């Protein structure tokens, strides 16, 4: 996945959340986004996901300029998989129905085909036993794994994760991170906002440091953590690595 931003801006009221981002990133497989709270990571990811319209500026994905009209955004969203930190699953549907919904509604699968796809993906994640449970009957980690399964079932171009483990306890966190690691090993393109520095460092091959609405620093993950150049990143790493 290759991302290019040109003069990308977004404000909420008078607050500038994305501040004139202009950068051509190299073509990477697994990209991590780190940075302080309120720095604009989620907003950046939502823009890439086609859920947010920037006030101005351009965004190209794999050399293709993203159009921000409703119809183009809908098609764009159908081509990628997005997982948030919570509220991914629909509580009135079972795990299986949650996976079937986008296949049948957004991707035109007929029911038998959708069933086949959903069942094979549930099996892959060892979630078959939970197919007929409602989200309220599943643990947080199981819910996130179902959400990831749902995102993958549609065969997306790439996956976007926004702190998918921040609402989970440590044990569930590792079961979700394991899956993300597996997906990376399969060679899937993904972009992950995370506050797990260790995971970002080992699992990602490229890393962005976002603060104050800008991409302050970027580079291969190992290098970024080993030799932070900017004062902001050094301070940030100093703070998050303290404990």
Is 243 a residue that touches other proteins (CB under 8 A)? no
Region of 34 please: left (phi>0), alpha (psi -120 to 50) or beta.
beta
Shortest distance, CB of residue 214 to other proteins, whole angstroms?
25
User: How, if at all, do strands 64-65 and 56-61 pair?
Assistant: antiparallel
Sheet-wide strand order for 3-12: 15-24, 3-12, 56-61, 64-65
Which is it for the CA torsion 166, 235, 206, 73, positive or negative?
Answer: positive
If the CB atoms of residues 161 and 236 are measured against other proteins, the closer one turns out to be 161
Is the separation of the CB atoms in 117 and 85 below 8 Å?
Answer: no
Binding site for ligand ATP (CB under 6 A): 12, 17, 35, 37-43
Q: Nearest distance from residue 161's CB to Mg ion, in Å?
A: 11
CB of 170 to other proteins, least distance (A): 24
Task: Select the span of 25-33, 84-92, 194-202, 227-235 touching other proteins (CB under 8 A).
Answer: 84-92
Residue 136 sits in the site that holds other proteins (CB under 8 A) = yes
Interface with other proteins (CB under 8 A), residue from 35, 40, 54, 102: 102
Task: Count other Cβ atoms within 10 Å, centred on residue 123.
Answer: 12
Smallest distance from ligand ATP to CB 41, Å: 4
Quote the CA–CA distance of 160 and 165 in Å, as a whole number.
Answer: 13
Element (H, E) at 11: strand 3-12
Restricting to residues 38-57, which ones interact with Mg ion according to CB under 5 A? 42
Nearer CB in complex with other proteins: 115/154: 154
Per CB under 8 A, the list member of 5, 84, 199, 206 interacting with other proteins is: 84
Partner from ligand ATP, other proteins, Mg ion, none binding residue 65, C-beta < 5-8 Å depending on class: none
CA–CA distance, 128 with 124 (Å, rounded to integer): 9
Question: From CA 78, how far away is CA 102, in angstroms rounded?
Answer: 9
The smaller minimum CB distance to ligand ATP, of residues 44 and 122, is found at: 44
- What is the Cα–Cα distance from 177 to 195, expressed in whole angstroms? 12
Q: Is 91 in the site for other proteins (CB under 8 A)?
A: yes
Residues in the chain: 243
- The answer to the question of residue 196 lying near other proteins (CB under 8 A) is no
Instruction: Please identify, using beta-carbon distances, which residue of 38 and 91 lies nearer to other proteins.
Output: 91
CB of 46 to ligand ATP, least distance (A): 8
- In angstroms, the CA 98 to CA 204 distance is 29
| Interface residue list for Mg ion (CB under 5 A) | 42
| Interface residue list for other proteins (CB under 8 A) | 49, 51, 74, 77-79, 81-82, 84, 86-92, 101-102, 105-107, 134, 136-137, 150-151, 154
């Amino acid at each position: 996945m290759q991302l290019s931003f040109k003069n990308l801006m977004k404000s909420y009221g008078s607050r500038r959340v994305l501040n004139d981002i202009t950068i051509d990133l190299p073509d990477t497989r697994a990209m991590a986004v780190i940075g302080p709270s309120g720095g604009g990571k989620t907003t950046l990811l939502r823009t890439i996901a086609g859920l947010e319209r920037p006030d101005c500026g351009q965004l190209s994905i794999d050399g293709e300029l993203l159009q921000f009209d409703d119809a183009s955004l809908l098609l764009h969203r159908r081509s990628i998989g997005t997982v948030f930190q919570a509220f991914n699953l629909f509580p009135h549907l079972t795990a299986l129905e949650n996976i079937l919904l986008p296949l049948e509604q957004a991707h035109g699968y007929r029911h038998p085909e959708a069933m086949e796809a959903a069942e094979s993906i549930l099996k892959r994640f060892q979630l078959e036993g939970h197919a007929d449970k409602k989200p309220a009957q599943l643990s947080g980690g199981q819910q996130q794994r179902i959400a990831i399964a749902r995102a993958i079932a549609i065969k997306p171009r790439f996956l976007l994760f926004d702190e998918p483990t921040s609402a989970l306890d440590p044990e569930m966190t590792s079961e979700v991170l394991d899956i993300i690691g597996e997906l990376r090993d399969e060679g899937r393109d993904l972009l992950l906002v995370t506050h797990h520095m260790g995971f970002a460092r080992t699992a990602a091959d490229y890393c962005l440091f976002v603060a104050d609405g800008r991409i302050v620093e970027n580079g291969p993950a190992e290098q970024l953590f080993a030799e932070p150049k900017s004062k902001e990143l050094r301070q940030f790493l100093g703070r998050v690595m303290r404990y």
